[in-house]
Structure 1
């Protein structure tokens, strides 16, 4: 298969179960780069066996880690996937058709659509899981990741095309995986709020939970996916509420920041 002057960039830590599928889904990338932050499983060996160049970088936060990865790429055009994401055959074929024109033009980036695999099968109706648009393909001279510790985004000026076929996200293989992720993401988001001096507004907490649940369950059509949709909406609402509670604790009891960091590190969920 012909290759393109494109780098597939993946950031990892303990992703031995998924990294091979991710890397193998992009056979047309001239370079595959894995930036690993200290895996203790076989992630590095598996990545190398599947054609990736592996670079170690201690964890900087999602935005900063992706910006570091950008500096390590051999090519200006970069495709970013998480280790639990992979291109569908349809998207791989579409990219091979459209990459020459995209690379020859002046677009800063392109949007891809993400389809979520949840509890072993694709979501059918929940809007963020059946066609979420994410800027994941970009020219590093025209775009840059935000420096957020979590929920980072690609920043660029100008119009960006959207590809039609989706890529897949094997999202949180079990509910325990999801709950651990909620703890980790909430901690990172609250640290960002703390750095920015965000006001504490605990009076909003009950409304935040209710509005988040209604938004996902009704307006984003999660209810059409049955009990899986209910679980997604409930988890999203609980995350929105927990962030406010945890941030209140950080501000009112500053010693809890270091104490929680130690606990999360002990259980290997601090990255």
Structure 2
């Protein structure tokens, strides 16, 4: 494929097992940039072997790390993927054909659709895992990531373009991966809440799990994906409850913030 003036930007930490697949799925990008937060596996070596320029940057949080990556890109148009994501051949072809017109216009960004593989195969019905619409392609002069430590989003003004073929997401290869991610993401979200002075509102806690589970299992059609749908609905609801319990603990015992950071770092969960 002919190279297009586009930077593929990927932020990584210990992603040696999947970064090569991610980078290879975007053969038309003139630049492949990996911003690595001090991995202690072979991520950097694998990324370079697959054609990436690597910049090392200690972890800043998801939003700030992505904004830092934007400043390091050689091109104004940036495609953002996580290391466990990759373009389908259909989307790679659609982007190669559609990007020249997009880049010639004044659109700030483009929406891509993400399809999730869970427990080794695609989800068929669970709505957040089937065609989830995400802004992942943008002009860095017209869009910027929020500064959130986790659950960041791309902010822009104007109408975004949209591509229809999906990119793939290998969601947590095992439930062990998922539980470690829950601990990390909850900690980051709670620190954001602390910075904003959000009240704990523990009276909501008994309602959070059933409400979140029923939303995912029934309204988001997890029930149609069999036991995998049950499991993914349960883990989503457990995360919703756990982060509220953890935030209450942070408020009740401020020393727990540093204590948890030490134990999570010891187990490779906190950066």
Bin of the TM-score, shorter chain as denominator length = over 0.9
Cα offset, 1:183, TM superposition: 0.3
Deviations 1:94-126 (A, max 9, x none): 001100100000000000000000000000000
Deviations 1:152-199 (A, max 9, x none): 000000111211000000110000000000000000000000000001
Note if 1:139 corresponds to 2:136. Answer: no
What's 2:85 paired with? Answer: 85
Whole-angstrom CA distance in 1 between matches of 2:230 and 2:185: 21
Cα offset, 1:141, TM superposition: 0.1
The 5-angstrom pairing of residues 1-271 of structure 1 reads 1-271=1-271
Q: TM-score, normalised by structure 2?
A: 1.00
Whole-angstrom CA distance in 2 between matches of 1:44 and 1:138: 25
Whole-angstrom CA distance in 1 between matches of 2:241 and 2:257: 18
Gaps of 5+ in 2: none
Cα offset, 1:200, TM superposition: 1.0
Whole-angstrom CA distance in 1 between matches of 2:26 and 2:172: 22
Cα offset, 1:210, TM superposition: 1.0
Cα offset, 1:132, TM superposition: 0.4
Gaps of 5+ in 1: none
Q: TM-score, normalised by structure 1?
A: 1.00
Whole-angstrom CA distance in 2 between matches of 1:212 and 1:261: 27
SS of residue paired to 1:216: helix
Aligned positions, number: 271
SS of residue paired to 2:207: helix
Whole-angstrom CA distance in 2 between matches of 1:159 and 1:214: 33
Whole-angstrom CA distance in 2 between matches of 1:94 and 1:214: 36
Deviations 1:45-87 (A, max 9, x none): 0000100000000000000000000000000000000000000
Whole-angstrom CA distance in 2 between matches of 1:189 and 1:41: 26
Which runs of 4 or more aligned residues in structure 1 lie more than 3 Å from their structure 2 counterparts after TM superposition?
A: none
Deviations 1:16-43 (A, max 9, x none): 0000000000000000000000111110
